[in-house]
Structure formats: C-alpha cells, structure tokens
C-alpha cells in the first residue's frame, strides 16, 4: 500500500488517500459485501463482530465493533450515494430509510479509481459536524487506525475474485427497451447520474445489450427490434411500468431530469404516505417516479392519511 496523504483536509474533514495493490472491483466487493467487509473494516485488535449492509441510497450500513477487552460499539448508519465501482457516501446522521438519528458523529465517503494495472486509488474520508468532533476523531487514532484498516483492506482484496463483482449479477434488474439505446445511456447519465458498465454493439449502430448503474442498482438496456417482438414504449404508444427512484431531494432530482430533456408528468408534491413525490417521462417513453422521504409513517398512519386524502377509495365509493 502506498500512502499519498493522511490527515486534516480542513476544519471538518479528515482524509486517507492511498493506492492499494488490488483491483478496483475486488476493493469494491470488500466495501459492499457483508462477509468481506467484516474481514478488514476495523483495525486490529478490534474486529467487526457483525455487519448488515444494504448498499443503495437509503439502505442500512450497520455494524457491531468488538474490542479485545469486551468493548462493543453498535454503529447504525445509512448509505447516501452508491455509484457502483466509483463512490460511496454514508452517514450516521440517518438510519435506514432516511430516519434521523439521535446522535451524529460523521459522514464518510470513499472514492475509487484505477491507478495502474491491477491497482486502486482510494480516497477515504470523514466529514464532521464541527471541529470538536474532528479533534476527537484524531485523538481516537484516526491516522494510525485508518491506515491499519486500509492495509487490512488491501490484504483482503488481494484474495477476492474481481469477476465476482460484475454489476449485472443482481437478483432483479429492469431491462428497458428503447429506440436509441446509445442516446439513452447518455441521457440517463446526464439526468440521473447513471454510469455505464457494459455496451455490446449490434448491427446498424444499434446496441444488442448495455447496462448502467443508477442509484445503486443495475438497469439493462437494448435497442428495440419489432421483428423480434422487442418494442419500445414509443412503438407501443405508452408503458404500464414505472421505475422508482428514492433520492435525498426529489425537487432537485426532477429539476435535473427536466433540464436533461425529461418531461415533468407530476411536479414534486408532499404525499399522504410521507414522501415528497413526483414523476417524469424520459425522451424514450419510460416513466420514472422520484421521491424523497419526509416522514416515517406506520401502516396504520398511512391508512388513516389515505382515507383523509382519498375518501372515495378508502370507503369504496
């Protein structure tokens, strides 16, 4: 491991910038797979006793750290940003589902890029709410502890198969048919921050298969081919399917999509179930609902709010 920088970036931010002698896909797996994270994420003699990860925006980032003398620290947090193979942002200011935490110490980030054959440049940092918390983090042994954990990460990642991290190996992913898949990849990057991970060209400039990562998930794409029964929403004159994006700021996300060329079907509105919610239609005919949580309601509270907001449905009238 080569250390480029470790220490204070400013009054709120600590950073460890290193090059790891391991492929980026392997390093990513060690950050996002529970059993692999447990092998390195706490400097010895402490260890990660348990972890529960759901690497998507709003998903849980929970771990239990155990010390050599019986000490235990129960960490509960949440992912804010998951850009596959490139960036993670996570915080203890919220727990899963954007539920505010009682106490907040830091928001962490990790950025990954290739740094020569089979090596990974990693910028791993923490931003604190005030200078006192940053100083406390330094006193806790930030520099030595994080360098030790990064070395453990390198050791762990060297033994991890990078091919196991293929973004398309996901339990469930939408496969969108579009008229102009190459342009759709560009649009989804501009509108939603999607990152391309695969493109297989076919005949006449069309794509026989492609994939992007978006909001921590995989979206596959293919150019339409009516002769094979593969038709896009434009050919079908509509779509019965809506893709849903959970974001931190629905208004900003809808504005970004509209600026990129999407049509606003429904502006962001406070909804009875607790979300700020709106909808756009992309230039290829696919509809995207976009929401950010405002309140965490129980099922009974949602039912009561629904009866008030839509009495005709709640009463069966």
Q: What is the pLDDT of residues 145-162, one digit of tens each?
A: 999 999 999 999 998 887
41 burial (CB, 10 Å; 0-12 / 13-18 / 19+) is buried
E strands within 157-261? 175-178, 195-201, 207-214, 217-223, 242-246
Q: What pTM does this model have? A: 0.60
Phi and psi at residue 202, to the nearest 5°: -115, -150
State the Cα angle at 264 between 263 and 268, rounded to 5°. Answer: 160
In the chain, the percentage of residues whose pLDDT exceeds 70 is 96
pLDDT-based confidence at residue 197 (cuts at 50, 70, 90): confident
Rounded alpha-carbon distances, angstroms, from residue 26 to 12, 19, 86, 167, 284:
30, 14, 12, 12, 35
pLDDT-based confidence at residue 224 (cuts at 50, 70, 90): very high
Per-residue pLDDT tens digits for 198-215: 888 888 889 999 988 887
Helices (H), the chain: 24-32, 34-38, 131-139, 142-158, 181-192, 233-236, 250-260, 299-309, 311-314
Residue bearing the bigger pLDDT, 55 or 281: 281
CA–CA distance, 56 with 62 (Å, rounded to integer):
13
Kindly state the average pLDDT of the residues 26-48.
92
In the prediction, which pLDDT does 296 show? 78
Equal fold, 2-165 vs 175-314: no
Kindly state the average pLDDT of the residues 166-181.
80
In the prediction, which pLDDT does 316 show? 47
pLDDT-based confidence at residue 17 (cuts at 50, 70, 90): very high
Lowest mean pLDDT among 72-81, 193-202, 278-287: 193-202
Instruction: Note the CATH number of domain 175-314.
Output: 3.10.180.10
In the prediction, which pLDDT does 168 show? 58
Rounded alpha-carbon distances, angstroms, from residue 113 to 17, 83, 141, 195:
12, 12, 26, 14
Per-residue pLDDT tens digits for 227-246: 888 999 999 999 999 999 98
In the chain, the percentage of residues whose pLDDT exceeds 90 is 69
pLDDT-based confidence at residue 169 (cuts at 50, 70, 90): low
**Cβ neighbours around 218 below 10 Å, total:** 21
State the Cα angle at 247 between 243 and 249, rounded to 5°. Answer: 130
Q: Is the peptide bond before 45 cis (omega within 30 degrees of 0)?
A: yes
In the prediction, which pLDDT does 28 show? 93
Domain-wise residue ranges, the chain: 2-165, 175-314
Architecture label for domain 2-165: 2-Layer Sandwich (3.30)
pLDDT-based confidence at residue 317 (cuts at 50, 70, 90): very low
CA–CA distance, 274 with 203 (Å, rounded to integer):
47
């Amino acid at each position: 491991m080569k250390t480029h920088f470790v220490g204070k970036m400013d009054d709120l931010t600590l950073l460890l910038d290193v090059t790891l002698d391991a492929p980026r896909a392997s390093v990513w797996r060690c950050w996002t797979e529970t059993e692999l994270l447990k092998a390195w994420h706490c400097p010895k003699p402490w260890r990660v006793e348990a972890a529960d990860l759901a690497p998507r925006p709003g998903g849980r980032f929970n771990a239990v750290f155990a010390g050599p003398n019986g000490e235990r620290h129960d960490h509960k947090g949440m992912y804010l940003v998951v850009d596959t193979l490139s960036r993670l942002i996570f915080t203890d200011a919220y727990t899963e589902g954007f539920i505010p935490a009682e106490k907040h110490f830091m928001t962490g980030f990790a950025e990954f890029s290739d740094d020569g054959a089979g090596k990974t440049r990693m910028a791993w940092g923490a931003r604190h709410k005030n200078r006192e918390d940053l100083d406390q983090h330094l006193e806790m042994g930030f520099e030595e502890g994080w360098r030790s954990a990064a070395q453990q990460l390198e050791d762990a990642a060297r033994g991890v198969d990078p091919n196991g991290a293929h973004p398309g190996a996901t339990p469930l992913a939408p496969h969108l048919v579009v008229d102009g898949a190459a342009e759709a990849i560009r649009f989804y990057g501009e509108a939603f921050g999607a990152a391309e991970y695969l493109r297989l060209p076919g005949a006449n400039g069309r794509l026989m298969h492609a994939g992007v990562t978006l909001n921590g998930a995989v979206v596959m794409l293919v150019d339409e081919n009516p002769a094979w029964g593969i038709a896009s929403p434009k050919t079908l004159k509509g779509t019965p399917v809506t893709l849903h994006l959970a974001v931190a700021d629905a208004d900003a996300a809808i504005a970004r999509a509209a600026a990129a060329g999407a049509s606003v079907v429904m502006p962001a509105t406070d909804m009875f179930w607790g979300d700020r919610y709106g909808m756009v239609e992309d230039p290829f005919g696919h509809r995207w609902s976009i929401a950010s949580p405002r309140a965490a309601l129980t099922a009974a509270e949602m039912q009561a709010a629904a009866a008030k907001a839509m009495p005709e449905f709640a009463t069966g009238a």
